[in-house]
Homo-oligomer: A and B are copies of this chain.
Amino acid sequence: MSKVRVGIIGAGRIGKIHADNLLRMAEAQIVAVSDLYANEELTSWANARGIGLVTTDSSEIIGHPDIDAVFICSSTDTHVPLIIQAAEAGKHIFCEKPVSMDVNRTKEALEAVNKAGVKLQIGFNRRFDHNFKRLREVVEEGRVGDPHLVKITSRDPNPPSPEYIKVSGGIFMDMAIHDFDMARFVSGSEVDTVFAQGAVLIDPVFGELDDYDTAVTTLTFTNGALAVIDNSRRAAYGYDQRVEVFGSLGTVAAENDYPNTVTVSDGTGVVRDKPLHFFLERYNEAYIEETKMFVDSVLYNRPLPVEGFDGLQAELIARAAKQSAKLSRPVKLNELA
Contact = CB atoms under 8 A, between A and B. Distances in A.
A259 to B, nearest CB: 6
Contacts of A248: 201-202, 234, 236
Q: How many copies of this chain sit in the oligomeric assembly?
A: 4
B272 A250 contact: no
Interface string A129-143: 011001100100001
B261 A269 contact: no
Contact of A195 (B144, B197, B234): B197
Given A228-B228, A237-B251, A270-B271, A144 B216 contact: no
Contact of A328 (B138, B201, B330): B330
Given A202-B248, A232-B149, A274 B263 contact: no
A333 to B, nearest CB: 15
Contact of A228 (B230, B237, B254): B230
B250 A266 contact: yes
A274 B270 contact: yes
Contacts of A230: 149, 151, 226, 228, 246
A260 B216 contact: no
Contacts of A197: 195, 218, 220, 226
A200 B135 CA distance: 24
A290 B226 CA distance: 34
A26 B252 CA distance: 42
Contacts of A236: 145, 248-251, 265-267
Given A149-B232, A240-B251, A256-B261, A144 B266 contact: yes
Nearest to A266: B250
A93 B274 CA distance: 38
A162 to B, nearest CB: 19
A1 interface: no
A196 B288 CA distance: 40
A337 interface: no
Interface in A171-222: 195, 197, 199-202, 214, 216, 218, 220
A138 B260 CA distance: 12
A329 B199 CA distance: 18
Interface in A290-337: 328-330
A273 interface: yes
Interface of A: 24, 26, 48, 130-131, 134-135, 138, 143-146, 148-149, 151, 153, 155, 195, 197, 199-202, 214, 216, 218, 220, 224-226, 228, 230, 232, 234-237, 240, 246, 248-257, 259-275, 328-330
7 contacts: A236-B248, A249-B267, A250-B264, A255-B263, A256-B261, A269-B274, A271-B271
Given A135-B262, A236-B248, A237-B270, 20 more contacts: A138-B262, A144-B264, A148-B202, A149-B230, A201-B224, A201-B248, A216-B218, A216-B228, A228-B228, A232-B246, A236-B265, A236-B267, A237-B251, A252-B262, A252-B264, A255-B263, A270-B273, A271-B271, A328-B329, A329-B329
* Nearest 5 A/B pairs, CB to CB: A250-B266, A237-B265, A255-B261, A134-B260, A236-B250
